[in-house]
Structure 1
């Protein structure tokens, strides 16, 4: 039997069919999950509408994750459509491209530093605060990180710092959510060719080096990330919470 049958899961962060969040959506759909999607711009809405049809989803809702009012409105609308639901995928990453193109201290500034933390880390807290009372018992929350949170990656720069914050967030949120029988984990993915990753200067070199140094001599794909995400959002993983799970063919130990 499909292990996500009857589970209703909301997904943030799809941009197009290259997105990690889309790989997660496909894997969850194969396990019979019911899916809903969040968009933040007209362009993303157009792309998501096309993709949503492939997983038989008709729920595509707007949200500005920098606005508490917008987040609360999102969940009010979702509750009217779904009632209580079972999981959230937080695959949100954004920063000014200039921050990914030069030496860290040359490009960093107060505004981008604060923005990076608000979008990439606090957004997870804001989403959970607004949704925790409409999540079923044994629900799952999942976010996406990267090894740049704990190691220096050339030109990853400011993104590494809020990712470190995000991983710490997972641990503190796990304690609070555990009281409600809700689990939360992060997947630290190996490098994947997405719209966001190509904003990093010399990403192709990082991608090739990662491939050559992984234990299987290849990089992960959105399909492999999706399979682990589906497992972590299922009842098969009830004993796992507050963890950062590396899905990178062992690259993180090298």
Structure 2
């Protein structure tokens, strides 16, 4: 059964085939959705265009989400190619590498502004630009992380930006709810991606989740994708304004078991 047959989705945040957004795109394509992608810069252009061709041949559009004129052009292109949009996936984040190390009070004013603009405000900017293109009854979702509500050493300003993003999700859910558009966040556990490797101590995060979560393992981007399919489908028409954890249950742990003994 294809849960997204006849639906049109815009996927943001694909950088390569290991991106969480790519796992979401794969699962949505498998369930019948027609996909469009956005990317920024020549560095990822070829990879995103290749993935777009593999996943149904939809458009891969260059778009700088910090530029309102680029967002207007994106809206016009989506309206031309798709007519309307049923699903918007926000998987965009950026923090200067130096702000993912050391102390949060060492974050520069410019680093703070940049992180919040790209990682948080971009969801508002996308919805504003696409609001006439989004179909009533559609689904908007954003990717967040445990570090939005709990201390994750070195995640720093990225966690603050994710906290803002989760608040934006709730307020957008209220504003768009009168049109039946649902807005949710997916809090994915740590996954090896190009961006996650910039976080200091990331490999230790993977080890802690694998050892300390109820399922005793890490997660995959395709598992995040399956949750995204559910939230985008008609199975989730009464679910909005919430954060959905896909982290093998790690977020629910209060104390962690002792490591296995060698004896």
Could you state the TM-score of these two structures normalised by the residue count of structure 2?
0.94
Within 5 Å, give how 1:78-97 maps onto structure 2: 78-97=78-97
Within 5 Å, give how 1:53-64 maps onto structure 2: 53-64=53-64
CA distance in 2, matches of 1:77, 1:24: 22
Q: Equivalent residue for 1:223? A: 222
Helix, strand or coil at the partner of 2:157: helix
CA distance in 2, matches of 1:190, 1:65: 25
Q: In the TM superposition, what whole-angstrom CA distance separates every residue of 1:79-135 from its partner, at most 9, and x where no partner exists?
A: 111111211100001111011122222x31110111111111100000001111111
CA distance in 2, matches of 1:155, 1:54: 36
Within 5 Å, give how 1:185-224 maps onto structure 2: 185-224=184-223
Q: Equivalent residue for 1:236? A: 235
Q: Is the 8 A contact 1:138 1:235 kept in 2?
A: no
CA distance in 2, matches of 1:115, 1:221: 29
Helix, strand or coil at the partner of 1:186: strand
Q: Equivalent residue for 2:42? A: 42
Q: Equivalent residue for 1:128? A: 127
Q: Is the 8 A contact 1:145 1:167 kept in 2?
A: yes
Q: Computing the radius of gyration over CA atoms, which structure comes out larger, 1 or 2?
A: 2
Q: In the TM superposition, what whole-angstrom CA distance separates every residue of 1:140-187 from its partner, at most 9, and x where no partner exists?
A: 001000000000001001000010000011111100000111111000
Q: Equivalent residue for 1:172? A: 171
Helix, strand or coil at the partner of 1:172: helix
Q: Is the 8 A contact 2:86 2:138 kept in 1?
A: yes
Size of the aligned set, in residue pairs, is 253
Give the Å deviation of 1:252.
0.2
Q: Equivalent residue for 2:13? A: 13
CA distance in 2, matches of 1:134, 1:154: 40
Q: Is the 8 A contact 2:34 2:58 kept in 1?
A: no
CA distance in 1, matches of 2:27, 2:81: 23
CA distance in 2, matches of 1:252, 1:232: 20
Helix, strand or coil at the partner of 1:116: helix
Helix, strand or coil at the partner of 2:131: helix
Give the Å deviation of 1:251.
0.3
Within 5 Å, give how 1:131-170 maps onto structure 2: 131-170=130-169
Helix, strand or coil at the partner of 1:133: coil
Please give the root-mean-square deviation of Cα atoms over the aligned residues, in Å: 0.8
CA distance in 2, matches of 1:58, 1:32: 13
Give the Å deviation of 1:58.
3.1
Unaligned runs of 5+ in 2: 254-263
CA distance in 1, matches of 2:101, 2:25: 31
Q: Is the 8 A contact 1:8 1:33 kept in 2?
A: yes
